[in-house]
Structure 1
Amino acid sequence: MPDFDVVDLGPADGLDPGDVAPDFTRPLVTDEFWQDRTLSDLASEGRTILVFTPMVGSFLAKYVWDELDERGWDELDERVVGISAATPYGISRFLDENEYPFSLFSDPGNEVAKSYGIAHDLDGMTGISEPRPAFVALDADRTVEAAWVATEWPDFPDYDDLEERLGLA
């Protein structure tokens, strides 16, 4: 048995295939620098997989990025980019310390997750939320092709099934 409670988050009001993902501008962070980027500009470069994780440094975020790194998602034809309710400084340190070859959008106010319908309030912390773990595949016009959203915390996808669902297998 895990030494933590599994929390039912209930159904998410996330995006469905065919929906157009909301555009946003946030700092896109690497282990070396960051700069403001819009999702629309990023997606226009080709198929994009958005990976929402809780705050960087959490075991859940580390587990997700370790898995994606091990599976070689940085070598896919699709661009894989994360979104976390963390500051650019925290994300840059997280990427550097773990030697992850990915970029993550910094969204400390969690506004992107809220606009995507996948934010959840943290128990006992009024006004504090973070994204549910989620994966959203977008085409160049930001149209959702596929998605997976956690319904409990912690929750991880079956990565083989996820790759098939997202059209990566």
Structure 2
Amino acid sequence: MVDFEVSELPPSEHPEEGERAPDFTRPLVNREFWEDASLSELAAEGPVLLVFTPMDGDFPATYVWNEIRDRAWDDGRDLRVVGLSISTPYEHRGFIHERGMEYPLFSDPANDVGREYGIDHELDGMTGISEPRPAAFLLDSDLTVRYAWVAEEWPDFPDYDAIEDAIESL
């Protein structure tokens, strides 16, 4: 039995396949430290899977990162997997250690990137607080979207097999 309510989200105006994704610079957190990095810098090194999740510790973020970790899409591939949420660098560092993740996470507490991508989601009962809805964008070296998935309901989870197919087709 589902112990939470599923609700439909309004349409989003996110970057679609073939369009250029917005570039941004935010703190990028790994197991050891964080520093400002831009999405375009990462993409210049090869394809990037940019995964938006709710704040660290929220069950959808935990499920998404567990699945991505278990699938190990970047093993043996020229692919960089990175995440983004409204969590702070300190929260990200703890989440990375707790989940045993090797993936860095962008920190965007004001949710500016979520708004720029057209995927912001106002949190119920938290006036003025928003986070990005779950989403995944596979980007090439010039930030052209090769695959896009954005949640249409809450909670919603990516089609991991479709992401894997898109990665294989690069």
Amino acid at match of 1:42: L
Q: Is the contact between residue 74 and residue 101 of structure 1 (CA under 8 Å) also seen in structure 2? A: no
| Runs of 4+ residues over 2 Å off in structure 1 | 166-169
> Over residues 46-80 of structure 1, what are the superposed CA-to-partner deviations in whole Å (9 max), with x where a residue is unaligned?
11110000001111101000000111124142111
Q: Is the contact between residue 74 and residue 102 of structure 1 (CA under 8 Å) also seen in structure 2? A: no
Amino acid at match of 1:113: G
Amino acid at match of 1:40: S
Matches within 5 A, 1:1-169: 1-75=1-75, 76-164=77-165, 166-168=166-168
Note the C-alpha offset of 1:161. Answer: 2.5
* RMSD between superposed Cα atoms in Å: 1.2
Residue correspondences, number? 168
Q: Is the contact between residue 147 and residue 163 of structure 2 (CA under 8 Å) also seen in structure 1? A: no
CA distance in 2, matches of 1:23, 1:159: 24
Q: Structure 1 unaligned runs (5+)?
A: none
TM-score (norm 1): 0.95
What is the percent sequence identity of the aligned residues? Answer: 57
Note the C-alpha offset of 1:167. Answer: 3.1
CA distance in 1, matches of 2:65, 2:7: 22
Note the C-alpha offset of 1:116. Answer: 0.3
CA distance in 2, matches of 1:26, 1:115: 13
Note the C-alpha offset of 1:154. Answer: 0.5
CA distance in 1, matches of 2:168, 2:82: 15
Q: Structure 2 unaligned runs (5+)?
A: none
